[in-house]
Amino acid sequence: MTVVGEVYRVSPELESVLDGIEQIVPGEESEYFKREVPVTTADGVVECLLYEINPAHVVGREPIGHGDWILFHSA
């Protein structure tokens, strides 16, 4: 799978802020689930946090086949 995006180094404090923005809460009701994934960059592979939408929140929605949300949203 290919996803178009950017990689940032974040502090634990900023990670907590991001968790709030993405409404990360314990259990299946969370809007997003957070996990670490290997990401290939121009500088090699790095472990990154991924905020992945809870599948229950996108039932019936169109998948973004090309992986670029900004391109998809502006079409």
Domain count, the chain: 1
Domain presence at residue 33? yes
Domain presence at residue 3? no
Q: Provide CB contacts within 8 A for 39, sequence distance 6+.
A: 7, 45, 46, 47, 48
Segment 8-45, tens digit of pLDDT: 999 999 999 999 998 898 888 888 999 999 999 889 99
User: Could you tell me the pTM of the whole model?
Assistant: 0.68
Domain presence at residue 7? no
- Range 56-62, long-range pairs (CB < 8 A, 24+ positions): 56/28, 57/31
Which contiguous run of DSSP H or E holds residue 12?
helix 12-21
Beta bridge partners of 37: 48
Domain presence at residue 44? yes
Domain presence at residue 1? no
Domain presence at residue 53? yes
Domain residues for the domain of 37 are 12-74
